[in-house]
Amino acid sequence: MTGCEGARALVPAYVDGELVGEDLRAFESHLAGCPGCREALHAETAMAEDLGRSLAAPTAPPELRRRVADSIGAAERRRSWWWPAAAAAVVAAAGWVAVARPLPARPASELVSVAVDSHLRYARGQLPLEVRSDRAEEVSAFFAGRVPFHVVLPDYPAPLGEPKPYALEGGRLVAMRGDYAAYVAYRMDGQPISLLVTSSSLATPAGGELVRSGALTFHLESQAGLNVITWTDNGLTYALASDVSVEGARSCLVCHGSREERRKIDGFGPRT
């Protein structure tokens, strides 16, 4: 900065709060001894304030606010509906069958950590799939004999008149407590969704926000910025990880509180 000419050039950036470091120190030092530049600064500040006041309007019309609020409410409910529904769908048709192992069960936190870690690595491209296929039976066949439970992945039935909400991408084994858990990768709207499955003798769900859906109880929690749902069914424990927003129990009940709506969830419930 050189003299008044240099200082005047910096006045707008100073008013905008963009001046830093040596430029800032030099500018303020010059300002302290220069009435002319102080006047220029006051004028620039006054202009910026007047511009700010003049551009503060308009505010959104009430009708627009109502429409946007309605859209948000509807979208949030749709969004929260799919999570437990998708999770339950996997359970419903999966036909995963546990093979009992005489090991002490541990809380699901380890499963959640493994699920989150696996999900993040997969999302970063650091967890290659050992079987890559969108065919459920091909992925299921991969797990046969590799994990201590039987795997039959579902072909998720899309709701009538709606596109299939997510696509199967493949699977792989993930080490957990000296054994293997089944890692299955899905994708929804371009974003990965990870499902980790292990025996309930190794992990059981605990903690988080509880959402009861049909005969299942889902545990919802957040870890590392992800939403994780864990639940147990038929001797197996599941962890579903994604960054898809979940609003918790309230959201499910908003959409599926009525008897009519509850049937949609019950339809994804466990086989009896």
Partner 1 sequence: MGDAGAQGEFGQAALAHLDRLYAFAHALARNRQAAEDLVQETYLRALRSRRRPGPDENLRGWLFTILHNVWRNEVRRRRPESLDAHPEWAAALVAKGPAAGEAVEGQRTAVRLAAFVDALPEHLREVMVLRFGEGFSYQRIAEILGCPAGTVMSRLARGRALVRQAFGSWNGHGPREEGR
Site for partner 1, rule CB under 8 A: 12-13, 16-18, 42-44, 46-48, 50-61, 64-77, 79-80, 188-191, 225, 243-245, 247, 251, 254
If the CB atoms of residues 29 and 71 are measured against partner 1, the closer one turns out to be 71
Q: Are the C-beta atoms of 227 and 242 separated by less than 8 Å?
A: yes
- Dmax over CA atoms of the chain, in Å, equals 86
If the CB atoms of residues 92 and 220 are measured against partner 1, the closer one turns out to be 220
CB of 129 to partner 1, least distance (A): 20
If the CB atoms of residues 13 and 26 are measured against partner 1, the closer one turns out to be 13
CB of 236 to partner 1, least distance (A): 27
DSSP 3-state assignment of 244?
Answer: coil
If the CB atoms of residues 9 and 105 are measured against partner 1, the closer one turns out to be 9
Q: Are the C-beta atoms of 270 and 234 separated by less than 8 Å?
A: yes
CB of 249 to partner 1, least distance (A): 12
Query: To the nearest 10°, the Cα dihedral for 160, 93, 223, 242?
Result: -40
CB of 14 to partner 1, least distance (A): 13
Contacts of 111 (CB under 8 A, 6+ apart): 176, 181, 196, 198, 202, 203, 230, 237, 239
Contacts of 125 (CB under 8 A, 6+ apart): none
CB of 246 to partner 1, least distance (A): 9
d(CA 201, CA 199): 5
If the CB atoms of residues 142 and 256 are measured against partner 1, the closer one turns out to be 256
d(CA 220, CA 207): 8
